[in-house]
Amino acid sequence: MLAGSQSRIHAEHMVEQIRLADEKARFFKERRDAYLDLLRWIDLASKRTEYVAQDESRRTVAMRPLSTASQSVVRCLRASV
């Protein structure tokens, strides 16, 4: 059994250890959440870049003139309608 002042010092030490453990857990959670947010941001940025590239690719295909063979097919289809 601890005597008066030793008991108080021990209790203060235990409270400080608990506070430090809580702070460490909070910092760990904040770092983890920041890391996961960064991964989400990277994923969204990657998907956005891919989407923009696909959209520009579609525009390029739509603006490209038809080849002679394609024009013949279009004329045949229009004539058959």
pLDDT in tens, 24-34: 999 999 999 99
Cα distance between residue 63 and residue 41, in whole Å: 33
Residue linked to tokens 């002042």 = 5
pLDDT bucket at 37, cuts 50 / 70 / 90:
very high
Both tokens assigned to 64: 């490209």
Q: Which residue has the higher pLDDT, 52 or 25?
A: 25
For residues 47-63, give the mean pLDDT: 81
Report pLDDT for 11: 92
Report pLDDT for 31: 96
Q: Which residues of 60-74 are buried (b: 16+ CB within 10 A; e: fewer)?
A: eeeeeeeeeeeeeee
pLDDT bucket at 63, cuts 50 / 70 / 90:
low
2's torsion region: left (phi>0), alpha (psi -120 to 50) or beta? beta
Sequence length of the chain is 81
Residue 22 confidence (pLDDT) above 80: yes
